[in-house]
Amino acid sequence: MRYLQILILPFTLLLLSACDSGDIYPVDKSNSGGLTCKIALTFKHTSTWPSDYHVVLAAYQNDSEYSEISKGISRQVEGDTLHLTMTDIPESCQLVTIAIVNKSKRNVVNLMTHTIQPSERNDRLIELGTQDIDLLAYERVQAQVFSNCTNCHGGSAHAAAGLFLTEGKSYDALVNVPSTKQSDKVLVAPGMTSNSFILDVLEGNAENVRYNHTNVSFNSETEDLNLLKEWIKNIDK
């Protein structure tokens, strides 16, 4: 009998030790790891896929230029559907976006923006279904091209040559607006790059223009010009 007690005692102490550590209880992980986002993407105008920037699925705090977490997206084929899942999205984020960012990961433009809802926080799952992303969205042209010009064209109360290229004004200031320098052209002719005076200016082929505009891009001049040309070709007439 005493021999049996000697065998039982160590087992009892081991069991009590396990109980004290809490190891026999399941660990609640429902509030760990952040949120998860699931999304399917199709891209339009993939010929304008950025080479000097990156396309990402990202989560941001409001008004921040840098994401809290992001997932890079490689160049896609027109018409294909890409399924993405991003986990560990911090609770501090309010927005999930498809964004173009520069090499320092600063946001250039959002091509899609979703505000995280309370119900999604409760479920810890953001399901966005299928989203169509247009790489020729005017917001991208404004952010990537025309924003480089606003120091002279609208950064203050005045704009050089009376041309405002700031957000909310640039489209109406350019599209189908006659050139004051070349009477047979307009500044931006929908569908016709050859009749768009803005391209003559940016490529150094315009006469009677006071300043050299051939190196106004702060990022990639070639990429920005190609984007602008494709946008002009695809503007609805």
pLDDT of residue 216: 64
- The ranges of the chain with pLDDT < 70 are 1-32, 155-156, 215-221, 237
Name the one residue in this structure whose structure tokens are 């997206």: 73
Domain 35-135 top-level CATH class: mainly beta
- Compute the distance between CA of residue 85 and CA of residue 127 in angstroms, rounded to an integer: 9
CA–CA–CA angle 138, 81, 52 (5° rounding): 50
Report pTM: 0.80
Domain ranges of the chain: 35-135, 140-234
The full length of the chain comes to 237
pLDDT of residue 11: 42
pLDDT of residue 181: 87
Closest CA to 37 of 84, 106, 101, 79: 84
Handedness of CA 135, 138, 139, 140 (dihedral sign): positive
pLDDT of residue 33: 82
- Compute the distance between CA of residue 175 and CA of residue 156 in angstroms, rounded to an integer: 22
Q: Which residues pair with 105 in a beta bridge?
A: none
pLDDT of residue 105: 95
Cα-based distances in Å from 103 to 95, 96, 106, 142, 144: 21, 20, 7, 19, 14
Name the one residue in this structure whose structure tokens are 């320092």: 104
Name the one residue in this structure whose structure tokens are 């704009």: 159
- Compute the distance between CA of residue 195 and CA of residue 209 in angstroms, rounded to an integer: 17
pLDDT of residue 139: 96
Q: In what order do the strands lie in the sheet with 54-60?
A: 69-73, 54-60, 95-101, 107-115
Residue 192: both structure tokens together: 């016709």
pLDDT of residue 237: 64
pLDDT of residue 27: 38
pLDDT of residue 235: 93
Helix (H, G, I), strand (E, B) or coil at 34: coil
Residue 112 CB coordination number (10 Å): 17
pLDDT of residue 14: 37
User: In this structure, are residues 174 and 185 in contact, taking their beta carbons and an 8 Å threshold?
Assistant: no
Handedness of CA 10, 11, 16, 17 (dihedral sign): positive
Residue 134: both structure tokens together: 């247009």
